[in-house]
Structure formats: structure tokens, C-alpha cells
Amino acid sequence: MTISSQPIRVMLADDHTMVRKGLATFLKVFDDLELAGEADGGRAGIKLCGEVLPDVVLMDMVMPDVDGAAATRIIRQMYPQVQVIALTSFKEGELIKKALESGAIAYLLKDVSADDLARAIRAAYAGRSTLSPEAAQALVQVASQPPVPGLDLTEREREVLALMVEGLNNTQIAGRLTVSPSTIKSHVSNVLSKLGVASRTEAVTLALRSRIIS
């Protein structure tokens, strides 16, 4: 039970009617939780949140209009006192990372038990985070993956790399981009350094293998 004399007001945002009905029924089981409102999507959730000002939002992550991460970010910016729990069927690491970066205080899967969900709501209300074991494991896996190569290339460096993939030498690339060969030489050097390779051939191979160039 929460130490507050007032029940924790919980808002639901999910595009599946049966999920909302199930969650609404779940909230009735606990004396310290009450339903503040239901929204059938992210956009409706943002609007309803401003109208009912709940304590906690149970937010689905994958919805057809405004996804849960975007809705969470907006709600947290507009109503920072409202805590958001991501409640979803998906356990992909990048989705979990995106939800938490958007301001969700917790990430739970929809197969969570009623007692665990109630505990997570109370924890969120108190400002404490909760992660399902699957979400925690997925985050560990994401953190342990090497960074995707090429993300730090500038637009010009990407253009140079694309022409390298076509097989052009520095002089030909300079002619294509109407800059000096020395400028291209500098760009090529930066490309090799950022990709962590020692030669043009390695850069081209990595670019094709990792689909750096679309």
C-alpha cells in the first residue's frame, strides 16, 4: 500500500480495447490504485493526460498514430510530475532503450503478474524504476554490442566514401565534387580513421558489408 491517503491515479494508453479492459479490471483489485482514464493511442494519451493529470501512465510502446516513446517524451516534457511505465509485448533492446531515453521510469512486459505490476506502479509513484528481467537482459545485450560503424561520418565524408565504393581515385573524386585533390585526400584520411580501417579497400568492404552507403 502507498503511504498516501489518496489512491494512485493510473491512466491507460493502449490501442487494444481488450488490453485496456483487462488493465481497468486489474486496477479495481487494489484499494490504493484507481483508473484515471483510458486512451486508445499515443495522441489521445497526450491529450487525456493534460485533462486528468494522472499520477502514473501505463503506456503501450507500439501504437499506430503516435508511438509510445514519442508520447512518453511529450508527456514528460509537459507534465514532469507524471510518471510513465512502458507496458508492452516487445522486448527488443533498442525499443527499451528508446522508451527509457524518452523518460519512462519503468519497462514491463504485458505478461507481468498483477502483483508485480501493482508494485511497479507504486514504485513509479515514489520515483523508483522497475525493469522486467527480459528488459534488463536486452539492455545488457545492447550495451555490449559494438557501435555501428560510420555513424560519425559527415555528409561530405559519406559522399566521398560512396565515390570510393564506385572505384574512383582521389583525382576523380575531386573532379566529381569540384574540390581540390588535397581536400579529398583529407576527407579520405578522415573516413579511414573514423571507420577504423587502414586502406581504401578495407573502407569499401566495410561500407558494403555494414550498408553504410545506401
Average pLDDT per 10 consecutive residues for the chain, totaling 214 residues: 74 96 96 97 96 98 92 97 95 88 95 95 96 87 70 90 95 96 96 92 90 79
Domains and CATH numbers, the chain: 8-144 (3.40.50.2300), 155-209 (1.10.10.10)
Are the C-beta atoms of residues 11 and 5 closer than 8 Å to each other? Answer: no
Q: How far apart, in whole angstroms, are the C-alpha atoms of residue 36 and residue 54?
A: 6
Query: Would the pTM of this model clear 0.85, i.e. be above it?
Result: no
Beta-strand (E) ranges in 24-159? Answer: 33-39, 56-59, 83-88, 106-109, 130-131
pLDDT at 3: 47
- pLDDT value at residue 148: 65
Radius of gyration of the chain (CA): 24
Nearest Cα to Cα of residue 76 among 67, 84, 68: 84
Of 77, 83, 88, the C-alpha closest to 14 is 88
> What's the pLDDT score for residue 1?
44
SS3 labels along 100-117: HHCCCCEEEECCCCHHHH
Q: What is the pLDDT of residue 64?
A: 83
The crossing angle, in degrees rounded to 10, of helices 114-125 and 17-29 is 80
5 phi and psi angles, rounded to 5 deg: -75, -20
**Strand order of the sheet with strand 56-59?**
33-39, 8-13, 56-59, 83-88, 106-109, 130-131
SS3 category, 165? helix
Are 193 and 148 in contact by the 8 Å Cβ rule? The answer is: no
- pLDDT score at 189: 95
**The predicted structure's pLDDT at residue 162:** 94
Per-residue pLDDT at 2: 44
- Residue 103, CB half-sphere, CA atoms under 13 Å: how many? 21
How many residues belong to the chain?
214
Q: How far is 197 from 28, CA to CA, in rounded Å?
A: 60
Give the pLDDT score at 137. Answer: 87
C-alpha cell at 182: 588535397
